[in-house]
Amino acid sequence: MSKLTPFHVAVPVHDLEAARKFYREVLGCGEGRSDTHWTDFDLFGHQYVIHYKPKPAEEVAHHFNPVDGHDVPVPHFGVVLEWDAWHALEARLRSHNIQFIIEPYIRFKGLPGEQATMFFLDPSGNALEFKSFQDINQLFAV
C-alpha cells in the first residue's frame, strides 16, 4: 500500500464552542488555526475543520443503511486507525460516557474485510465512524 497523504474535510457545527471542546477534549485532537466561524483540528494526522452553520429550524433525521446487521448512519466520516489506537480511542470515549450509535464491535467477523468499528455523534449530530483492521491489507478486501 502506498503512503497516504492527509485528507481535508470541513463539517458544519451549530455550536462552535461545544464542538471545539468535543474534538479537543473527547477525541484529543490538536487545535490549529481558527477564526470566529471555524477551527482546524489535527484528527489523527488529517486536517479536520469545523465550520459554524446555524442549526436548521427543523431537525433532519439521519438516513440509515443496513450493514452487517446494524443501521449505519449516512452520511458519516472518520479515520481508519491502527489496532491499538482504535482500542485506546474506544477507552477514551467510554471514559467520557459517549453514547454510541453502534457500540464498538468486530464487523464481518471471520470474513474478508474483518474490522473493528464504532459509531457516535459529535455535539452537532455529525456521525463519526472509527475503524481498524488487524490486517490492513483487508481494507479493500472483497
Q: Who's near 36: CB < 8 A, 6+ residues apart?
A: 52
- Share above pLDDT 70 across residues of the chain, in percent, rounded to a whole number: 99
Predicted TM-score (pTM) of this structure: 0.93
Report pLDDT for 59: 81
Mind listing the domains of the chain with CATH numbers? 8-55+64-138 (3.10.180.10)
Which residue type, as a one-letter code, is found at position 56?
P
Report pLDDT for 29: 97
Side-chain-side CA neighbours of residue 110 (13 Å): 0
Grid coordinates representing 82 are 491502527
Render pLDDT for 11-58 as a digit per residue (tens, 0 to 9).
999 999 999 999 999 999 999 999 999 999 999 999 999 999 999 888
